[in-house]
Amino acid sequence: MFDSIYNQIYYLGLQAIRYGKRFFKWLFSLLLKPVKAIGTLIFTAVIVVDKFALKAFHEIVADFRELASDAKRVSTAGSDSPEGEKKISPARLKRYFVKAVSRYKRAFIYVLNTVLPLISLAFLVYIVSIWSDVTFALEITYNDKVIGYVRSEAEYKLAHEQALDRLDIAASSAPSAEGGEKELIGQAEYKIKPVKLSRINDSQTICDKLIEESDSKITNACGIYVDNNFICAVKNETDALSVFDSILAEHETDEENAVVSFVEDIKYVQGLYPDNENTVRDAAYLSDKLHSKKSEASYYTVQAGDTVSQIAGKYGISTSEIFNLNPELKESIYVGQKILLSAEVNFVRVQTTKTEKRTVEVPYNTVKVNTNNLYVGDKRTVVKGVKGLQEITELVTYIDGVRVSAKEVSRTTVREAVDEKIQIGTKKNYYGSSSGSVVSYGGRLLWPAIGATSVSSPYGRRSLGGWHGGMDIVRPGGSSGCPVVAAESGVVTFAGWYGSGGNTVIINHGNGLTTLYAHMQNGSLRVSAGQRVARGQQIGRIGGTGYVTGPHLHFEVRVNGTKVNPAPYLGR
What's 370's domain CATH number?
2.20.230.10
What Rg do the C-alpha atoms of the chain give, in angstroms? Answer: 57
Same domain, 401 and 437: no
Q: Are 159 and 207 in contact (CB under 8 A)?
A: yes
CATH number at residue 558: 2.70.70.10
Q: Are 437 and 430 in contact (CB under 8 A)?
A: yes
Same domain, 289 and 301: no
- Domain end, chosen from 377, 396, 428, is at 428
Among 101-105, 254-258, 309-313, whose mean pLDDT is lowest? Answer: 101-105
pLDDT in the model for residue 122: 76
| Cβ neighbours of residue 7 closer than 8 Å, sequence gap 6 or more | none
Residue, of 496 and 466, whose pLDDT is higher: 496
Number of domains in the chain: 6
pLDDT in the model for residue 373: 74
Residue, of 7 and 142, whose pLDDT is higher: 142
Q: List strand residue ranges (DSSP E) for 100-244, in order.
A: 134-142, 145-150, 189-196, 218-226, 229-234
Q: Tell me whether residue 521 is in a domain.
A: yes
Tell me whether strands 366-375 and 420-427 are parallel, antiparallel or unpaired. Answer: parallel
Same domain, 491 and 520: yes
For residue 387, give Cα distances in angstroms to 44, 368, 384.
92, 17, 10
pLDDT in the model for residue 197: 80
Q: Tell me whether residue 138 is in a domain.
A: no
DSSP 504-542: EEEEEEETTEEEEEEEEPTT-----TT-EE-TT-EEEEB
| Cβ neighbours of residue 308 closer than 8 Å, sequence gap 6 or more | 319, 322, 323, 329, 331, 333, 339
| 457-474 mean pLDDT | 89
Region of residue 156 (phi > 0: left; psi between -120 and 50: alpha; otherwise: beta): alpha
Which helix or strand (DSSP H or E) is residue 380 part of?
strand 379-383
Q: Are 352 and 394 in contact (CB under 8 A)?
A: no
* Highest mean pLDDT of the ranges 42-46, 70-74, 319-323, 406-410: 406-410
pLDDT in the model for residue 84: 46
- Domain end, chosen from 343, 369, 404, is at 343
Residue, of 84 and 354, whose pLDDT is higher: 354
pLDDT exceeds cutoff 80 at 266: yes
Backbone angles phi, psi at 553, to 5 degrees: -105, 120
Q: Tell me whether residue 368 is in a domain.
A: yes
pLDDT exceeds cutoff 50 at 201: yes
Q: Average per-residue pLDDT in the chain? A: 81
Residue, of 493 and 67, whose pLDDT is higher: 493
Q: List strand residue ranges (DSSP E) for 200-258, in order.
A: 218-226, 229-234
* Highest mean pLDDT of the ranges 167-181, 186-200, 333-347: 333-347
pLDDT in the model for residue 168: 59
pLDDT in the model for residue 434: 41
Closest listed residue to residue 519, CA positions, set 545, 491, 485, 482:
545
pLDDT exceeds cutoff 50 at 176: no
DSSP 545-572: -SS-SSSBEEEEEEETTEEE-SHHHHT-
pLDDT exceeds cutoff 50 at 178: no
pLDDT in the model for residue 332: 82
| 92-102 mean pLDDT | 64
Which residues are registered as beta bridge partners of 395?
Answer: 355, 407
| 98-119 mean pLDDT | 67
pLDDT exceeds cutoff 80 at 267: yes
pLDDT in the model for residue 560: 94
Among 2-11, 274-283, 525-534, whose mean pLDDT is lowest? Answer: 2-11
Same domain, 311 and 284: no
Q: Tell me whether residue 348 is in a domain.
A: no
| 502-508 mean pLDDT | 97
Same domain, 193 and 258: yes
pLDDT exceeds cutoff 50 at 478: yes
Q: Tell me whether residue 139 is in a domain.
A: no
Quickly state the pLDDT bin for 13 (edges 50, 70, 90).
confident
Quickly state the pLDDT bin for 174 (edges 50, 70, 90).
very low
| 104-126 mean pLDDT | 70
- Report pLDDT digits (tens) over 355-404: 999 999 999 999 999 988 766 656 788 899 999 999 999 999 988 888 88
Q: Tell me whether residue 82 is in a domain.
A: yes
Quickly state the pLDDT bin for 33 (edges 50, 70, 90).
confident
Quickly state the pLDDT bin for 97 (edges 50, 70, 90).
low
Same domain, 162 and 289: yes
| 306-325 mean pLDDT | 86
pLDDT exceeds cutoff 60 at 460: yes
Which helix or strand (DSSP H or E) is residue 407 part of?
strand 402-415
Same domain, 301 and 289: no
What percent of the chain has a predicted confidence (pLDDT) above 70?
Answer: 80
Same domain, 280 and 214: yes
Among 19-33, 108-122, 328-342, 366-380, whose mean pLDDT is lowest? Answer: 108-122
* Highest mean pLDDT of the ranges 5-19, 200-214, 230-244: 230-244
For residues 353 and 251, give the distance between their C-alpha atoms in angstroms, rounded to a whole number. 11
pLDDT exceeds cutoff 60 at 173: no
Q: Give me the domain span that covers residue 402.
A: 353-428
- Report pLDDT digits (tens) over 406-456: 899 999 999 999 999 998 877 665 444 444 577 888 889 999 999 899 999
Same domain, 407 and 492: no
Burial of 221 (0-12, 13-18, 19+ CB in 10 A): buried
pLDDT in the model for residue 39: 77
pLDDT in the model for residue 485: 94
- Can you list the pairs that 192-197 forms with residues at least 24 positions away whose Cβ atoms lie under 8 Å? 192/136, 192/137, 192/138, 192/139, 193/136, 193/137, 193/138, 193/139, 193/149, 194/134, 194/135, 194/136, 194/137, 195/134, 195/135, 195/136, 195/137, 195/139, 195/149, 196/133, 196/134, 197/133, 197/134, 197/135
Q: Is 382 helix (H, G, I), strand (E, B) or coil?
A: strand
Longest dimension (CA), the chain: 179
pLDDT in the model for residue 196: 80
Q: Tell me whether residue 472 is in a domain.
A: yes
pLDDT exceeds cutoff 60 at 183: no
- Domain end, chosen from 343, 367, 402, is at 343
CATH number at residue 311: 3.10.350.10
Angle ∠(376,434,535) on CA atoms, nearest 5: 15
Same domain, 476 and 560: yes
Q: Tell me whether residue 94 is in a domain.
A: yes
Q: Is 276 helix (H, G, I), strand (E, B) or coil?
A: coil
Q: Are 495 and 508 in contact (CB under 8 A)?
A: no
Please provide the size of the chain in residues. Answer: 572
Same domain, 549 and 439: yes
| Cβ neighbours of residue 257 closer than 8 Å, sequence gap 6 or more | 354, 355
CA 91, 95, 101, 103: dihedral to nearest 10 degrees? -170
Among 94-108, 165-179, 195-209, whose mean pLDDT is lowest? Answer: 165-179
Same domain, 255 and 159: yes
